[in-house]
Every structure is written in C-alpha cells, then in structure tokens.
Amino acid sequence: MDPLLPLLAYYRTLGPFGILSAAVAAYYLPLVIYRLYFHPLARFPGPKLAAVTGWYECYYNLVKGGKFFLKLDDLHKRYGPIIRINPHEIVINDPTFYNEVYVAGNTRRTELYAGSHHMTKNHEHHRRRRKPFEPFFSRAGIDKIEHVIVNEAKVLDARLKEESAAQNVINLDYVFAAFNGDIVARICCEMEAGLMKKPEFGKDLHDLVGRLVSRLPFVVYFPQLISLAMKIPTPLLLSLSPGAGEWNMFREHINAVKQETLASTTIPEASRSSVFRHVLSPGVLPPSEASTERLANEVLAILGAAVGATPRALSVTVYHILADRKIRDQLREELAGVMGGWPEADSAPTWQELERGLPFLRNVVKEGLRLSYGTLRHLPRVSPDTAIQYNEWTVPPGIPVGMSGWSMHTNPDVFPNPLAFNPDRWVGDYDPRMNKSYVPFSRGSRSCLGMNLAYAELYWAVAVLFRPGAPDFELFETRDEDVSVAVDFFVPMPRTDSRGLRIMVHPAGGK
C-alpha cells in the first residue's frame, strides 16, 4: 500500500477549510519558530508579536492612523533603549549613539532599507547620484540663489499688506505652501508658479501634498504600489489627478536644458539658475545618470522633500511666536536693527547674517525645527559590511537600525518640558546632549540635501513677518492642537481634522 494513502484519507476528513488552515500552519509555524528562537535578532528585547510579524507596526500606522511613533515611546519605557520593532529591524533610543548609526559616507558604507538618489539603496550608487547636487545646495550654493528667496519674501510681504488693508482672515499653511512652492519651482525648473499671487495662496498645492502624504504609509508598507502607479498611462493619471499634469513640466525643462547644454563644453553662466542646469553642466553628472526619466524622479524627490517639510516647520514656528506675546516682542526688538527699513532700505542682511547675528531668531528657528521634527519615523539605515555594537548588543551587518526624530526631540531628560516652545532653552550653558539630540535634518551620508535652503527660507520668512513695520497678525480660532504634530504620515502632521493655522491680518501697529 502507498504510505501516503492514510495521510490523504486523513486530509479528506478535514474539509477545504481544514486543509487551508493546515497549509497555512505548515508554512507559518516554522517561520514563527525561526523568528522567535533562531533569527539573528531572536535575543533582542521587544514584544514577541512584533518579533513574529511586521503587522504589529503596520497596525499602529495603518489602522490607528500614523501612531507607531507614540507606541515606540511606550516600548522604550518597557524594554529599554534597544528594541526589535518587527522581525527584521532594530530601533535605538539614545542621543549619544545617533552619530554611530547615521555616519558620514567615508566612515562606513550605509544603505537604505527600502529612481531618485533618495531611494537609492546601494551606498556607492547613492553617493554617485547625490554628489552632483551637493554644491548647488551647499551654504555657498544657497548664497548664490538667495535673491530668489528674497524676491519671494518681498511678494509675501506685499501680499500680506494687501490682506491687512481688508483685515482678512487667511490660512498661513496655504501661505507657506505658496512661499515654498514658488521658490522650489523657480530653483528646480525656472518656473514661475505664481502661487503667492493666487486668491487662496498655495491651497491647491497644500491640499495635494496633504492627500499624497496621507497615502505615504501605504506606499512605505506596500512599495509595490509605486510600480503599479508607474504603469498607469499618463492621460489616465491626469484625469484621476489633474495636479499631476504639473509634473510633466519638469520633464520639459530637463529636456530643454539637455538640448541647450549638449553642444557646450564649458559650464554656462546660467548654470546656477536651476538645479538641473547645474547638474547637466558638462562634466557634472555621468551620462549614465542623466536620463530624463531619472532626473524627473529626482525632481519629484526634491519637491516632495521640500514642499512637505519647510512649510510645516514654518507653521509650527510662526504659531508659537504668535501664541506668546513675549516671544513676539523680543523677536521684533532684535529684528529692528537689521530689518527695520526692509524692503525699502538700501542694505539688507543675508540669511547667514541673520543666522549669525541674531541669537534670539536663531533659537526661535531652532525650537521651531525641534517641534516640527523633520521626520517622526525611525529612518532605518543598513550597515552592509560591519556589525553595529550598542552596549552589550551586537547588531549583525545587513540588519536595518533606526532612531526616531520624535524620541530624540522629546526626551524629557534632555529637553525638560519637551513639548513647550522655549527658545531660551538654547541660551547659555545648556546640556550638551541637546545638540546631540537635535536632528531635524537627520545626519550622515543620507541627511537632508536641502538643509541650507530650508534654513535660508526659514530665516527670511520669520524675519520678514516679525520685523517692525510688518503687518500685525492675530491667531484666529487656532489652538495648539491645530498645529502640533499628532500623526506620522512619514511627514509629521497635525490631527487630521485641523483647519490649519489661521490668522487675522491687521495693518502695521494695528494690534
């Protein structure tokens, strides 16, 4: 008799549901046992359920709506500074260790756990792709395009003066989306987006970003969605999302620049007028990296990174200035010296002079960035060649390790009363761990490419809005919870029912 016959007879008694359950158990049981007892991370602290399945983290982010960053705080309280948060990943919460995880490119190789250089996994490939962009976004590079920011600051000022004449209520989230969108469109593609002149400022851009951002968690957990979206024909995509038509303009700009630079052998005068004139200048980008498709992805990454984060940081900063009369007055007093006659005065400070010369402004911007976090997520990084040693724990090479910006910025040992906006915490002889814990732009080889651009925009916007002679602003039906971070959609966002940062604009000296 065939030895399998009794087994088949037994399965027949189970019925289809029983057979399915047995098949699932036969597949998953060994996997569960492996992950709990034999996986290289088996001995690391953390909930057993998280060690068994990635659905644990997914549940807090997808079902509970971007709340894993808060759960992580609870887990650290229970399990300590190092935790296995899913079958494959480790998260550490210790400010003294940040620079060991997010290292410079020449310290050791760092790969992404997960197009554009942002999504480029391999260390060398990422460096090759990122390097050509770095001079454009360096401090000296931003000095050369500072006039774009100053012009936009003048448009912002003029528009707010118009609004003040009618004492209108406006939404500053839309204003900052416009301010940032106009600058980035100009810098990326020499495009005049003119958002600041639209009736509702950058409302459309703000809402588009909001919609995209709210879908990001799905893309993070189901990256297959990106490949699926790429397969949608452009006309269909445009009919589904009219705003997507704008993306094609980036392709057109890149193609036009390519045509112009193809024949030239020297770096043209205009090479600083857009990111892509710069990287497509002769000898800057290897031809293998210069396809229109790839550069268009690069635009998307830059725009995505820029239009989400900078306006959020501005909203958080400005809300806290408006919510505290003392901070507003002190800022205005400090700005009087350099910004008193702006924009009519002959001389104007540069963003670097604002940063260096005005300590209170610098600390206000610093607190704004601390409480807007950059990212709340734990930004996993992979060390492909060497183990990472954290106290007695050896994380083997190839295992993603991350640290969360939220945990770093709200550690009450380092930042007492961490959710309070307090520029004075950065004055005098403060705890050196504060600088170590301050990571709005992350650190190391994959840190924010646009940090200097973001700083220049923040300094200019805050200096213009709160200088003597600027219109007066009053919060309108806006409370802390309308602005403060409540959900992690990869970009930190306030609660989903917030109506945004609304203010009433009065003429200068009117309030």
Binding segment (CB under 6 A) for ligand HEM, from list 28-36, 53-61, 151-159, 442-450? 442-450
247 vs 300: CA distance, rounded Å: 8
Helix (H, G, I), strand (E, B) or coil at 169: strand
Q: How far is the CB of 379 from ligand HEM (least distance, A)?
A: 4
Residues 110, 297, 310, 315: which binds ligand HEM (CB under 6 A)? 310
Q: Which helix (H) or strand (E) holds 463?
A: helix 451-466
> Which position among 442, 460, 484, 505 is part of the footprint of ligand HEM (CB under 6 A)?
442
Q: Which stretch in 27-35, 429-437, 450-458, 478-486 sits in contact with ligand HEM by CB under 6 A? A: 450-458
Site for ligand HEM (CB under 6 A): which residue of 85, 305, 382, 501?
305
The correct pick among 83, 302, 331, 491 for binding ligand HEM (CB under 6 A) is: 302
What is the C-alpha separation between 314 and 135, in angstroms, rounded? 25
Residues 6+ apart with CB under 8 A from 115: 294, 297, 301
66, 181, 400, 450: which one binds ligand HEM (CB under 6 A): 450
Minimum CB–partner distance for residue 69 and ligand HEM (Å) = 13
Q: Nearest distance from residue 452's CB to ligand HEM, in Å? A: 9
Number of H helices, E strands in the chain: 23, 12
Among 46, 374, 471, 494, binds ligand HEM (CB under 6 A): 374
Among positions 299, 313, 399, 505, the unique one binding ligand HEM when judged by CB under 6 A:
313
State the CB neighbour count (10 A cutoff) for residue 425.
19
133-158 exposure pattern, b = at least 16 Cβ within 10 A, e = fewer: beebbeeebbeebbebbbebbebbbe
Minimum CB distance to ligand HEM smaller for 52 or for 295: 295
Instruction: Report the residue number, 76 or 123, with the smaller CB distance to ligand HEM.
Output: 123
The dihedral through the CA atoms of 337, 339, 340, 342 has a sign that is positive
Q: How far is the CB of 453 from ligand HEM (least distance, A)?
A: 4
Q: Which of 76, 117, 320, 409 binds ligand HEM (CB under 6 A)?
A: 117
Stretch that binds ligand HEM, among 160-168, 305-313, 393-401, 473-481 (CB under 6 A): 305-313
* Residue selected from 69, 406, 441, 460 as contacting ligand HEM according to rule CB under 6 A: 441
E strands, 264-315, in order: none
Report if residue 446 touches ligand HEM, rule: CB under 6 A. yes
Phi, psi angle pair for 475, to nearest 5°? -60, 140
> Pattern 60-99, binding to ligand HEM, x per CB under 6 A?
----------------------------------------
Choice between 35 and 370, CB closer to ligand HEM = 370
CA distances from 444 to 39, 111, 390, 423 (A): 29, 12, 18, 26
**Binding footprint of ligand HEM, residue count (CB under 6 A):** 23
Q: Which stretch binds ligand HEM (CB under 6 A): 65-73, 154-162, 334-342, 447-455?
A: 447-455
Cα 214 to Cα 18, 457, 492, distances in angstroms = 39, 25, 10
Q: Does 449 bind ligand HEM (CB under 6 A)?
A: yes
Q: Could you say which residues in the range 172-211 bind ligand HEM, by CB under 6 A?
A: none
Q: Is 472 exposed, middle or buried (0-12, 13-18, 19+ CB in 10 A)?
A: middle
**Which residue in 309, 403, 463, 501 binds ligand HEM (CB under 6 A)?**
309
How wide is the angle at C-alpha 369 spanned by C-alphas 365 and 374, nearest 5°?
A: 155
* 178 neighbors 202 (Cβ within 8 angstroms): yes
Residues in contact with ligand HEM, shown as a per-residue x/- string from 392 to 431 under the rule CB under 6 A: ----------------------------------------
Q: How far is CA 471 from the centre of its chain?
A: 30
Contacting range for ligand HEM; rule: CB under 6 A; set: 69-77, 82-90, 167-175, 438-446: 438-446
Q: Write the CB contacts of 6 (distance below 8 Å, at least 6 apart in sequence).
A: none
Q: What is the dihedral of CA 320, 322, 323, 328, to 10 degrees?
A: 90
Burial bucket for residue 95 (CB in 10 Å: 0-12, 13-18, 19+)? buried
Backbone phi, then psi, for 208, in 5-degree steps? -65, -45
Minimum distance from residue 29 beta carbon to ligand HEM (Å)? 35
Q: Among the candidate windows 18-26, 53-61, 249-257, 297-305, which touches ligand HEM by CB under 6 A?
A: 297-305
Task: Fill in the DSSP letter of residue 256.
Answer: H
Choose between 374 and 471: whose C-beta lies nearer to ligand HEM: 374
Residue selected from 83, 160, 196, 306 as contacting ligand HEM according to rule CB under 6 A: 306
Please, which residue, 309 or 331, has the CB nearer to ligand HEM? 309
Residue 50 in the binding site for ligand HEM (CB under 6 A) = no
In angstroms, the CA 447 to CA 103 distance is 9
Interface with ligand HEM (CB under 6 A): 117-118, 130, 137, 301-302, 305-306, 309-310, 313, 374-375, 379, 440-442, 446, 448-450, 453-454
